[in-house]
């Protein structure tokens, strides 16, 4: 519905911390246009992790569906998002909805919009690994969303090419850069202005003074089981070096913590922390020499800070980083992880080659491009 001001109503939705990080700049940019009525609906697919980002951004959702349940199944969560978000659409009646990336919130919200013929704009569109089980279930989530969306905000030319290969109409594809860079620059500026906003990392810097710091994130579903065990073994071996320290914020999922705590807890050169607020997380990446991750967004963020990324997966939907040289696939074989990390630690030339490689994910103006395109499309309907 058009709002009382006569402006189109654009609804932005997300449910996880990574989505919130990448979408709060879009909400801000939409509001800065002064040309639309912006509504925000969160599913709270990640409750505690989401809230810290909302606080950072000063963002209060218009509706918080609060759908998180203990040990929730993928199909159960999908059903709850689909029905509850559908109710939100019936209440708010937006002219357009913006979704992000590849979560269950993204797919289910897009389906609810489709059932009501509400157009969908897909932020971070076109990422593809080519394997529907890696990452799982994200690859199918984003492919389904891509079928429904009529606006595709591709972060790079590579992702735009993937959409063209799926016969997405050229005029609906827009290369914008990735909004995570907007969020990262916002966070860096806040930390620079007030270092006390990132309190968790300073004592770890002091504890590990003089050591090469490896920052780690590992939580992907496809790595549960043997993959997590392999990562733990690699971290044990790397941390046995006197010149290395590991900082690892543990994901609360027991498939992660129940493996990592027994294997890595109590090691002098390993700090297992609770999940970090976004500002602390950015500070951790800045403090690190190398980043080991199975995450998606960190493959984009770390290169903006000049940090080489070793991706503990067999495939990536972000091949731009591999091509540019900012990231390298290492899988979960502990021997490969240790070999590639050691190469960066011991070979200065190899390290600088990755650290100085061009970041292909943009310069920090993606959100304003997305906002302008979304408003234009909404006003022309």
Which residues form the catalytic set?
Answer: 102, 124, 138, 219, 221, 251
Separation between Cα atoms, residue 264 and residue 235, nearest integer Å: 8
- Give the number of C-alpha atoms closer than 13 A to the C-alpha of residue 278, restricted to the C-beta side: 30
Q: 204, 219, 323, 197: which is closest to 269 by C-alpha? A: 204
Q: Cα separations (Å) of 2 from 37, 135, 267?
A: 8, 38, 58
Phi, psi of 171, deg, nearest 5: -70, -15
CA pseudo-torsion sign 251, 254, 259, 265 = positive
8 A C-beta contact, residue 26 and residue 367:
yes
Place of tokens 């801000």: 28
- Give the number of C-alpha atoms closer than 13 A to the C-alpha of residue 179, restricted to the C-beta side: 26
CA pseudo-torsion sign 283, 286, 289, 290 = positive
For residue 121, what are the β-bridge partners?
Answer: 98, 151
Separation between Cα atoms, residue 139 and residue 153, nearest integer Å: 17
Residue 67's Cβ-count burial label (10 Å; 0-12, 13-18, 19+) is: buried
8 A C-beta contact, residue 271 and residue 288:
no
């Amino acid at each position: 519905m058009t709002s009382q001001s006569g402006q189109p109503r654009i609804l932005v939705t997300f449910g996880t911390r990574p989505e919130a990080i990448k979408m709060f700049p879009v909400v801000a940019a939409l509001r800065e246009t002064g040309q639309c009525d912006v509504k925000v609906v969160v599913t709270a697919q990640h409750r505690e992790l989401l809230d810290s980002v909302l606080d950072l951004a000063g963002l209060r959702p218009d509706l918080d569906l609060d759908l998180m349940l203990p040990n929730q199944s993928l199909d159960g969560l999908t059903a709850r998002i689909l029905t509850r978000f559908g109710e939100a659409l019936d209440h708010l009646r937006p002219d357009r909805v913006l979704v992000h990336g590849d979560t269950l919130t993204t797919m289910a919200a897009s389906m609810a919009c489709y059932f009501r013929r509400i157009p969908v704009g897909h932020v971070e569109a076109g990422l593809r690994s080519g394997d529907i089980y890696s990452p799982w279930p994200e690859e199918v989530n984003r492919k389904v969303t891509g079928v429904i969306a009529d606006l595709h905000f591709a972060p790079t030319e590579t992702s735009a090419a993937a959409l063209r290969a799926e016969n997405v109409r050229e005029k609906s594809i827009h290369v914008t850069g990735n909004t995570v860079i907007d969020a990262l620059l916002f966070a860096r500026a806040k930390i620079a202005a007030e270092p006390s906003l990132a309190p968790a990392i300073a004592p770890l810097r002091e504890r590990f003074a003089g050591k090469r710091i490896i920052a780690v994130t590992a939580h992907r579903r496809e790595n549960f089981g043997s993959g997590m065990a392999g990562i733990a073994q690699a971290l044990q071996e790397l941390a046995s070096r006197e010149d290395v320290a590991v900082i690892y914020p543990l994901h609360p999922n027991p498939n992660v913590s129940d493996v990592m705590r027994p294997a890595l807890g109590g090691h002098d050169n390993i700090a297992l922390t609770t999940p970090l607020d976004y500002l602390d997380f950015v500070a951790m990446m800045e403090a690190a020499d190398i980043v080991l991750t199975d995450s998606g967004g960190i493959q984009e963020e770390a290169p903006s800070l000049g940090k080489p990324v070793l991706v503990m997966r067999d495939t990536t939907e972000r091949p731009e980083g591999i091509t540019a040289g900012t990231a390298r696939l290492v899988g979960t074989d502990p021997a490969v992880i240790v070999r590639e990390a050691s190469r960066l630690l011991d070979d200065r030339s190899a390290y600088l080659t990755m650290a100085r490689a061009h970041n292909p994910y943009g310069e920090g103006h993606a959100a304003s491009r997305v906002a302008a395109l979304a408003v234009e499309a909404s006003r022309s309907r």
